[in-house]
Structures are given as C-alpha cells and as structure tokens.
Amino acid sequence: MNRLKDATSPYLLQHADNPVDWFEWGEEAFAEAVRRNVPLLISVGYSACHWCHVMAHESFEDRATAALMNERFVNVKVDREERPDVDAVYMAATQAMTGQGGWPMTVFATPEGHPFYTGTYFPRQQFQRLLAGVSSAWTEEREAVLEQGSKIVEALNERSALPSGPLPTPDTLTRAVHSLAESFDPVRGGFGGAPKFPPSMALEFLLRYGSAAVGDAPDIGDGERRATAEAATSMAGRTLEAMARGGIYDQLAGGFARYSVDAEWVVPHFEKMLYDNALLLRVYAHWWRSTGSALGRRVALETADWLLAEMRTPEGGFASALDADSEGVEGKFYAWTREEIREALGEDDGLWAIELFEVTGTFEHGTSVLQLLADPGPGEAERFARVRAALLAARAHRVRPGRDDKVVAAWNGLAIAALAETGALFERPDLVEAAREAAVLVDELHMDGDRLLRTSRDGRPGTNAGVLEDYGDLAEGLLALYGVTGEIRWFRRAGALLDTVLERFSDGSGGFYDTADDAERLFQRPRDATDNATPSGQFAAAGALLSYAALTGSARHREAAEAALGTVTVLADKHARFAGWGLAAAQAALSGPIEVAIVGPAGDPATTALHRAALLSPLPGLVLALGEPASATGPDADADAGSDADAGSGSGEVPLLVGRGLVGGEPAAYVCRGFTCRMPVTTPAALRAELTGGA
C-alpha cells in the first residue's frame, strides 16, 4: 500500500514506490503495531543524505529485505527536517545506546514508541540479520525487551535537562574564546580535526567578541581582553578564509557544501544545505563589516547570488537542500579532470586554470574538486572571470543534483536575516526584496492563527507544528528585515511569535522546551539547548527576545532571554563549540542594548545616510528602528505612524520610535546605550562618533 504518495516531504516521496509497506509517523502506525503486536521499525533520514540513499537502494528497494520488514514490523519513515522533534528524541536514544548518531537512523521501538535497539546505516546482509534477530528477541524475550525500552525512556527523561546558571559574565565569554583557541587549527582554520563542519555560530560569536572592543564597550577594557578580542577576530578570519578557498566552497557558482571530510577543507561532503549557507552568508557579510575583508565581500555576494539562483522556489521561499549525488555518484556534478578543464577552456586557459584551481586528481579517476588557494595575480581579473564563466557553462550540461524544495520556516528565517543584512550592507536591493518575499510567503502560508507551521511545499502548507527553532529563527529574521526596511509588519509578526514562545514553550525554570505545550506527546518532550548544525531553539529564541526587548523596552522579554542564556555559563568553558549562538547572544546582552532610532522621510538621502551608518556598525547588542516622522516639528514631535502602518515604514507601534521626530527639519538618529539616551544627531559622522564612544 502506497501511503507516502501524498506526502509533502520530498524525502518521503523518494520512498513512495519502495516495496516496503511504509507508514508516515502518526497514530495509524502505532495502532497497527498494537493490532499486530509487533515492534515499530522507525527509519529517519532526509532527502540530501548520501548514506540514506545508499541504504534505500541496498535494502528498502530490495524485495527480499522489504518482505522481511513487512512481515515482522510496522515500518515508519520519518523526514527529520519535517519532524525535528521525533528525530531529536530518537537521536538522543541512539547516541545514549551506541555512543554515536547520524543518518540514516534506524530505531526499533515498542508499539508505544519506546526505543529498545538503535543504530544508523546497516549494509543489506547485516540489516537482514538484524531484522531477524530483533524479531526473535521480540517473540522469545518480550518482557526483557519491554523492560529495556522502559529503562531507556526513564534514563533519557532523567538526563534531559541541561544544567543552567546565571547570565554569562564578560569573564565567561573570555574563557569561551580561550576554550575555542585550545581546539583551533592555526594552519588550516576551524576547530578540531577531520571531519570539519563550518563553525558558523562560533564564528559569529568570535566576530562579536572582537567587535565589542570597538569604542567604549564596557566589557572590553583592559589590555588582556583587547588581546583576546584580537585573537578572536583572527581565529574567525583564518577559518573564513580557509573555507572560502577550499573545496568545501563552490569556486564557480558560490555556496558551501555541508562539511569537509578532511582537515584541510579540500574534500567536501557535497550536499548543500540552506541553513549552512544562510548562516555563512551572514557571517561573511559581518566579517567584511568588521574588517573590510575583500574576500568576505566577494564570498558573501556570491553566496547570496547562489541562494537566489539555486535555492529560491517559485513561491518566493527558499528550498531546503541540494543533493550530494547526481547520476548516483556523490560529487559528480562538481568534480573535474584535467582533460575536462582543457576541453572546456582550450590549452592555454586550461593549463592556467588547472594550476589556479589545484586540479591534481584528488578523487578516483583523476577528478578534483576546485580550490582557490590564492587569488589570480594583478591584471588577471578579466581572465579569471572568463574562465569561471566558461567552466560554469560547461558544467551546466551535466546532470544536476536533486533539490529538496520544501520550505522550512526556521531556515527561511535564517535566510531572511542574512539576505536582508547583506542587501543593505552591499546596497543590493534585490537581495532585500528576496528576503521580503520569503517573509511574505512564510507569514501568509505558514501561520495558522497565532501558531506557526514548520513546512510548506509547492505553495501548500504542511501539517507539522513549528518547533522552537522555527519561532526563534523566524523572529530573528523578521526583526533583521524590519531594521533594514522599517516595515512595521515584520516587527509585529516577530512580537507575536515571541509571545507564543513565552506562553507555549517555557519550561518554567528559565529555559524552553523544543515543542509547544500542546504539541504531540512523544515518549520525551525534547529540550536541547546546545547548537547543532543550526542554532538551538533556546539560543535562537534568546537572541530574538533580546532584540525585541531593546526595541520595546520590555523587561519581560529581556529577562526571559537572560534566563535562557544561563545554559551558556555551563557550556562556555569546555563545550563552547556547541554554544556559539548562545555565546553570540550573550555578547549582545552584555554589550547592549545599543538602541538606534532613525527618523526621517523614506527615500530622503539624509535618512538613507544615517540608516547606512547604523547598519555598518559591528557593535554587538545594537538594534535598529527605522520610521518616518509624523511631522517635522522637532525631537518632541508625535511619532504616530498613521493609518497605513502595516504596509509602510511607520513608527506607531515601535516604542523605540515613539516621541522622536525630525531635528531642525532634518532626519535624525537617536542613540540610547545601556538604558541611557544621548542627544539626537543629524549626520553620519556624528552618529558614528556616538556609536564608537567618540562624542
């Protein structure tokens, strides 16, 4: 029976024609397991997962294996990207039972959903033996199996809460920088050895820590801290450069692969994920903002262009991933032989490109992924552009990797923030417009009353409830978009999302659960404050709550953010790599709030200049409000937004703008720092001086 044919998940649709009698996750599967008195076999993966495809081809497409599965189990296929809550609880069990985790994840569970045996990828013959062994144990040792499942659930529930502490201090963050330095690779960048994942969130923290040394930031004062700040910026820069020059980055079209299998960033695992590229886009743009790096600028703009070219859906959102494989071979789309380079470029340009891109035969059959360890020499920019264009044109004739085109609310929130800020920093209104269109899609398609749906596809909303990361990341993105556009709609929606976070996700002790209080009950209510490939829901919510509190003056939102950041204090010394976003939010909390209100007519060059001066500030904890004045009678003017506040750049419901108008008939910037406000200024130079402590 083909139960997956109407699924919204591309991953589930990949399995719709398997001979396995798959169920989607839900009551029907549990009821069938109870009726038949057999265990559940829960298989969790995602569409861009290479080893998921391998196991599918070896086992799930094999009729003999499928017959064994169908006879002895109720088989449930789960897309981890649609159901991160289901993935989280069973991944916790898998890691606890095996010491490791990954995808595909294979879980055997009681009809109540209690796991009793777990693993990841199994080759076909081993998997068949495992199926037979688990089935025999269920038949012959049922009581022991049930007891094992109960004990696992009990143990997981006991260890689910991560200890918390007070809000991190400046010393806490300094220790976190030192902790990161202990595992830093000074030669090749990054942290630890192979495999190396892009440490996007840790890099954001390091850049913020370094930027906190600018001007009169109170938490960076003495020489030791300034030296640590310089080291933080250096670690971030070395890593960003190494990744941008390595094979993990697509040197032709832009965009980053999921991770590098080696320590040198040469050989990527070729799948490209929206969340990685959104996070990295923002970090590279911030690197340029902090240091003026030309490489940071180039990679940020190329990655943004790649997002628009490769990941945008017809509805205006952003797809989840590009597959690692094409024609059944991982990386085939991206790898080149020397002969292919010469054929595409001719002998002279070909030999030049072979040397420039390090085409040395990294893989089987003499293929290489392209690197750019050094920029072309002086006067070679035109040749470089011509060569890249010719190689891209040749590559366009290859079979492209598949695309998972579902729209995930959280990851689109990350993309909205990155594109809005990058568009503003580099004066690319098309990028800001792309961020706005994605925000419109999520706002109009993913909202069910005051609740957020996690996914949509082809303009159809999914049925799965949003989890904490969806609310936190989307609120973060909408607040960033508001700061760039001044459109009050995004401020309002972010506030509504964060109100739901406070009302539905609180654990009652200062942290948050990953699912709402009325979400589907699993054997464990997931709660994980540590970052993984994306910011943890708790840290994402904390960062957005901080920004919203600064815009509104809400003590409730700021206190909730600070309480949620208490976990950072526990993680900073030894596990800083898994708390990068929390550390970044904590740096913003300690350095801010730095509140900047820009008041002036939209389109006025003076308004634009002030706005840009604020956007270019790298200071952590800075939040930006933008609005038009109701009148030009001076700083005490009423700042009512008027009747069209939803569509325009009104200030009617943004407390930071209330009571602030033009100064002497000119657009003005109002700066408040540490809950103390300064006199308004009317020039970019004066605003920069206020922000750097020079006034």
With tokens 């700061």, the residue in question is 483
Q: How many residues can be counted in the chain?
A: 695
Total domains in the fold of the chain: 4
- Residues of the chain whose pLDDT is less than 70? 1, 158-163, 213-222, 630-652, 694-695
Identify which of 615, 562, 570, 564 has the alpha carbon closest to the alpha carbon of residue 588: 562
Q: What is the pLDDT of residue 470?
A: 98
Q: Do 670 and 608 fall within a single domain? A: yes
Q: Do 550 and 415 fall within a single domain? A: yes
User: In terms of residue numbers, what domain contains 625?
Assistant: 594-691
Give a yes or no: residue 282 inside a domain: yes
Q: Do 352 and 321 fall within a single domain? A: no
Q: Do 258 and 374 fall within a single domain? A: no
CA distance 174 to 219: 10
CATH classification of the domain holding 686:
3.40.30
Give a yes or no: residue 165 inside a domain: no
Q: Do 583 and 601 fall within a single domain? A: no
Q: Do 605 and 557 fall within a single domain? A: no
CA distance 522 to 113: 8
Q: Do 84 and 175 fall within a single domain? A: no
Please check whether residue 530 is in contact with residue 536, taking contact to mean a CB–CB distance below 8 angstroms. Answer: yes
CA distance 58 to 72: 19
Give a yes or no: residue 20 inside a domain: yes
Q: Do 233 and 315 fall within a single domain? A: yes
Q: What is the pLDDT of residue 222?
A: 66
Q: Structure tokens of 268?
A: 């990527």
DSSP E strands in 163-292: the ranges are: 259-260, 268-269, 272-273
Give a yes or no: residue 676 inside a domain: yes
Give a yes or no: residue 201 inside a domain: yes
CATH classification of the domain holding 25:
3.40.30.10
CA distance 587 to 546: 11
Q: What is the pLDDT of residue 225?
A: 80
Among 344, 361, 395, where does a domain finish?
A: 395
Q: Structure tokens of 440?
A: 């419109």
CATH classification of the domain holding 276:
1.50.10.10
Give a yes or no: residue 23 inside a domain: yes
Q: What residues pair up with 256 in beta bridges, in sequence order? A: 249
Q: Do 278 and 385 fall within a single domain? A: no
Among 346, 361, 395, where does a domain finish?
A: 395
Q: Structure tokens of 556?
A: 């409730």
CA distance 417 to 582: 17
Q: What is the pLDDT of residue 631?
A: 37
Q: Do 338 and 217 fall within a single domain? A: no
Q: Do 657 and 570 fall within a single domain? A: no
Give a yes or no: residue 379 inside a domain: yes
CA distance 158 to 254: 45
Give a yes or no: residue 4 inside a domain: no
Dmax (CA) of the chain: 87
523 burial level (CB within 10 Å; 0-12, 13-18, 19+): buried
CA distance 263 to 251: 19
CA distance 140 to 133: 10
Query: What DSSP string runs through 273-294?
Result: EHHHHHHHHHHHHHHHHHH--H
Q: Do 455 and 490 fall within a single domain? A: yes
Q: What is the pLDDT of residue 648?
A: 46
In this structure, the strands spanning 74-79 and 22-24 are: parallel
Q: For residue 104, say if its preceding peptide bond is cis, omega within 30 degrees of 0.
A: yes
Identify which of 528, 530, 478 has the alpha carbon closest to the alpha carbon of residue 505: 528
Among 108, 125, 158, where does a domain finish?
A: 158
Q: Structure tokens of 501?
A: 């976070």
Mutual orientation of helices 580-591 and 555-564 as an angle, nearest 10°? 140
Q: What is the pLDDT of residue 652?
A: 54
